[in-house]
A = this chain, B = another copy of it.
Amino acid sequence: MELLKANNIKITPQRLAIVRLMDEYGHISVREIFEKIKENFPSLSLATVYKNINAMMENRFINELKIVGQENKYELVKERHSHLICRRCGHIEDVKIDTSKLEESVPAETGFAVEESSVQFFGLCRACQSKK
């Protein structure tokens, strides 16, 4: 995990903590990162979290996830996947689906050259379905 520190980006305890949280939670907001790390590392500054999130995005270690009704979330870059978003509890889950047919379904007459697609599914997670 720490091996992510490939490029021109130095390893600091702050950065390790951020990467570990992302790995643990999968999808996490700046505020959540800050609050959780601050518990064990009270000197941490919010500005540092922002700077590191930005540096990691520039280095393509992480992705930004924008979801209607939620704070922006960040996730470690991994295999392409889509997201299942629970409308009740807000939980986000990864799901691997094949989007190649989807990308082909863009009508040729649009003339748009698709490079990538991003799919969000909204609904109810298993846990929230059982809660009546």
- Please give the residue numbers on chain A whose beta carbons come within 8 Å of chain B beta carbons, in ascending order: 64, 66-68, 84, 86-87, 93, 95, 97-98, 101-103, 105-107, 110-126, 129
Please give the distance in Å from A96's CB to the nearest CB on chain B: 8
Identical copies of this chain, number = 2
On chain B, the residues within 8 Å of A113 by CB distance are 123-124, 129
A69: nearest residue on chain B (CB-CB)?
Answer: B64
Q: Given A102-B97, A105-B98, A123 and B129 touching (CB < 8 A)?
A: no
Q: Given A67-B66, A97-B105, A98-B105, A121 and B114 touching (CB < 8 A)?
A: yes
A127: nearest residue on chain B (CB-CB)?
Answer: B111
Please give the distance in Å from A50's CB to the nearest CB on chain B: 16
A105: nearest residue on chain B (CB-CB)?
Answer: B97
Q: Which listed residue (B93, B103, B110) contacts A110, Cβ 8 A?
A: B93
